[in-house]
Amino acid sequence: MPAVIRNDWSREEVLALFDLPFPELLFRAATVHRERFDPAEVQVSTLLSVKTGGCPEDCAYCPQAARYHTGVEATKLMDTGSVLERARAAKAAGASRFCMGAAWRSPKDRDIPKVAEMIREVKALGLETCATLGMLKGDQAKALRDAGLDYYNHNLDTAPEFYGDIIKTREYQDRLDTLEHVRDAGMKTCCGGIVGMGESRDQRAGLLQALANLPAHPDSVPINRLVQVEGTPLAGTALLDPFEFVRTIAVARLMMPASMVRLSAGRAEMSEELQAMCFLAGANSIFYGEKLLTTGNPDVAADQALFERLGLRPMPVAHESKTVHADIVEPAAGCAA
């Protein structure tokens, strides 16, 4: 019997997982991983910033916030033709999902038809589509769904009790509301957070607790390791112990056994050995391509070589959908900088 899907985790239970001896934690996570997934397959997404910088929000980690001086130049929304060119290249490099990110607090109603056109065209290439555009209203979520959007990314970022240290321009509840609109529209949710922002282990456990206790587990759970960008308030934060990062991945896998756990931002600063340990701990999704929204990512050739050395292969779209939704017994149904 695969591990049961639960939405009632207590903080003590999560901390007890974090406290397990490292080999025991990895063994349990790897066992749960195999119950629903082929551990040799890794889902591959490519992320494109379709509108960069100039964001009015104050997320303390983000180089795209207009108030921090990080050298990121604000751009206008890309035209659909240029987005399609990048989507075709992503597909040719093996990506199964294409994620379009815009640095908005929330999209204006007039932006929706332009983004909807991009979604329709990218979908027509045979790619899964994902977007991260900030807070969404219910009718905007439905319009994006009607255009063919499969996933919407909106992260919880961190534990509720640490959130006010990181972001002051929107509330935790705003994030939960957007996720509800996305679920209500029938789209899949991509929702995770960032670790290494100076939070305690208790607060890392709090992030995973908040994610796993959502009404439905996010279909994708990006676990980002802070990329420290000069000019942001979090530049100079003490580095997170790499083993603690692997523990976070393993605990996420144990708590959300049917979700894709994504090794996201911060991969460029990780050794190949650390990435391999994350795959062993149950990570089964990565961003692929040279660039995350504005920070670096290992290039495609390096990722392909790592997959080759580890005997991993990209997960086909059809398999991914089938695998993720097998045996799900849960109730029906942020920016990824």
Cα–Cα dist 6/305, whole Å: 37
Report whether 191 belongs to an annotated binding site.
no
Of 52-60, 80-88, 246-254, 277-285, the segment contacting ligand SF4 by CB under 6 A is 52-60
Helix axis angle for 22-36 and 272-280, nearest 10°, is: 60
What is the closest distance, in whole angstroms, from the C-beta atom of residue 202 to ligand SF4 in the complex? 24
* Catalytic-residue membership of 190: yes
Classify each residue of 193-220 as buried b or exposed e, where b means 16 or more C-beta atoms within 10 Å of its C-beta.
Answer: bbbbbbbeeebbbbbbbbbbebebbbbb
Size of the site for ligand SF4 (CB under 6 A): 10
62 binds ligand SF4 (CB under 6 A): yes
Residue 219 is a binding residue for ligand SF4 (CB under 6 A):
no
Residue (103 or 280) nearer to ligand SF4, CB: 103
List binders of ligand SF4 among 245-304 (CB under 6 A): none
308: number of Cβ within 10 Å: 10
**Annotation says 262 is catalytic:** yes
Report the alpha-carbon distance of residue 127 to residue 133 in Å, rounded: 19
Pair 22, 243: CB distance under 8 Å = yes
**CB closer to ligand SF4, 55 vs 277:** 55
Cα–Cα distance for residue pair 185/142, rounded to 1 Å = 5
Member of 29, 55, 211, 246 binding ligand SF4 (CB under 6 A): 55
Q: Which of the following is catalytic: 28, 55, 247, 267?
A: 55
Name which of 299, 266, 301, 296 is nearest 283 in CA terms.
266
Question: Applying CB under 6 A, does 59 fall inside the site for ligand SF4?
Answer: yes
- At residue 50, what are phi and psi to the nearest 5 degrees? -90, -10
CA angle (99 as vertex; 96, 104 as ends), nearest 5: 175
59 is in an annotated binding site: yes
The letter for the amino acid at 232 is T
On whether 55 is known to bind a ligand per the annotation, the reply is yes
Name the residue number minimizing CB distance to ligand SF4.
335
Q: Please name the residue that has the structure tokens 């397990």.
A: 20
335 noted as active-site residue: no
Selected from 99, 103, 197, 281, the binder of ligand SF4 by CB under 6 A is 103
Q: In this chain, which of 3, 25, 42, 134 binds ligand SF4, going by CB under 6 A? A: 134
Report in angstroms how near the CB of residue 51 gets to ligand SF4 at its nearest: 9
SS3 195: strand
Catalytic residues: 55, 59, 62, 99, 130, 190, 262
Q: Which residues are annotated as a binding site for [2Fe-2S] cluster?
A: 99, 130, 190, 262
The contact set with ligand SF4 (CB under 6 A) reads 55, 57, 59, 62, 64-65, 103, 134, 335, 337
Binding residues: 55, 59, 62, 99, 130, 190, 262
